[in-house]
Amino acid sequence: MINSDSIDATPRGLMEAANTLTVEEVVEFFPRATRAFDWMANNMKDNFGFVAFQGNEHGLMNQDWMDSQQGRPIDSEGNIIKGTVAVSEVQAQSWAAMTRWAYVLRKTFADSPENKKYLDRASELEEMAGTLKTRFNESFKTDDNYFANALVFPLIEDPLIEDPQTKKITISSTPIQDKRISINLGLALEADHFGETIFANDADIKNVVNHLMSKTMFDENAGIFDFDSRSVHDGQHPDGYHFGKNVCWTFASVLAAEGILKVAEKMGGKDGKALKVLGEKAMLASLMPVINTGTFLEQFTYQPTNKDNPYRRHQHKTASNEPVFSNTTQTWTIAAYLRGLAYFGVLNDLDYTKYAEGEEIAARRPSRRGAQMPQVKTA
């Protein structure tokens, strides 16, 4: 089945495949990877050089991981800004897919005539990645020296034609920046290639990390929130699923923490050590909701003053007015939790049931990454 409602599935899949395929599998997978990269190239050609989407009125209007309505760029009153949307982390994942596959192809195939198609594709991917990186740092950079959550190339309607059937609609080539400060830039850090990212320099990377770990976006018992609380205004009617104050998705927080740790290792020196401390702090905080609730909750709004229910799950009503909550057995959360435990080196003798139930995690010396996980007890 082809799912046309996901802009990030293709680059994310390519990005991960490049790190896992054997030499034989690279050869077998190459025709499919070629078709996937051709799709990305055509998408970029149609969307001003970015991997972007316009939304599906009969499916998902927002097609990155924040697939609810308010995950999409909105105006000051909470209304969707109509147009073509290029999301920050999707550009990073696309860049990483291109860069990783170019590396894999050059590493796998020697420079010989029979390997020309592989090496030619590697050259094409390197050029595409370089162009995308330059364009990202030029277009996503905001006037306050940060990065936009997304770009929207707005729809332009002919005001002289009132009939919707004949109204001519074009797309402006001048984008609007969605300046909400979001976790997506943390996901952009995680989309790396040996610690290199889509960001142009270390100063920009440190700026992103400092925003992610600010007191308005991070809590030691919750992790990194989807949006900085300063980016959420009451007039926007935040829905509390992806968008809202203190809304958190554990999988995204873990990936952002991984991103911080990756760039810390690449940066090295005093700055790298400082980022590693922040990355480990973010990683441990990301695990706390699972530990403290004993569930693999999908998402939550963190409300620390509510001692009975600090991790409030999102609730909506069905057509029959029945309440439905976000789930507590989210696959993303399970995988992210295990990735976090792997970082702290506690997977070798892990009793999965014990940890899933939120029992005490004893202090352990990690097996490989050099971090020590503190003793953590359930609240």
> Distance between CA atoms of 298 and 331, rounded to whole angstroms?
8
Nearest 10 degrees: Cα torsion 269, 270, 271, 276: 90
State the 10-residue block means of pLDDT for the chain, 379 residues long. Answer: 69 93 92 96 94 68 67 74 91 97 94 92 98 98 95 78 61 89 97 97 98 97 96 78 90 97 96 96 95 92 94 83 84 91 72 45 35 39
> Distance between CA atoms of 120 and 109, rounded to whole angstroms?
11
Res 164: pLDDT: 61
Outline where 227-268 has alpha helix (H): 250-267
> In this structure, are residues 97 and 14 in contact, taking their beta carbons and an 8 Å threshold?
yes
pTM: 0.87
Res 203: pLDDT: 97
- DSSP per position, 279-309: HHHHHHHHHHHHHHHSSB-S-EEE-TT-SS-
Return the closest-CA partner of residue 106 out of 119, 93, 116. Answer: 119
C-alpha dihedral sign at 12, 15, 16, 17:
positive
pLDDT per position as a tens digit, 12-56 = 999 999 989 998 999 999 999 999 999 999 999 999 999 998 855
Res 323: pLDDT: 80
Res 363: pLDDT: 35
- DSSP per position, 308-370: S-SEEPPEEE-TT--EEE--SB-HHHHHHHHHHHHHTT--TT--HHHHHTT--B--B--SSSS
> Distance between CA atoms of 67 and 90, rounded to whole angstroms?
13
C-alpha dihedral sign at 131, 60, 69, 213:
negative
> In this structure, are residues 282 and 212 in contact, taking their beta carbons and an 8 Å threshold?
yes
pLDDT per position as a tens digit, 108-165 = 998 888 899 999 999 999 999 999 999 999 999 999 999 999 999 988 776 655 656 6
Res 362: pLDDT: 35
Q: Pairing mode, if any, of strands 218-219 and 150-157?
A: unpaired
| Coil, strand or helix at 35 | helix
What does the mean pLDDT of the chain come to?
85
DSSP for residue 175:
P
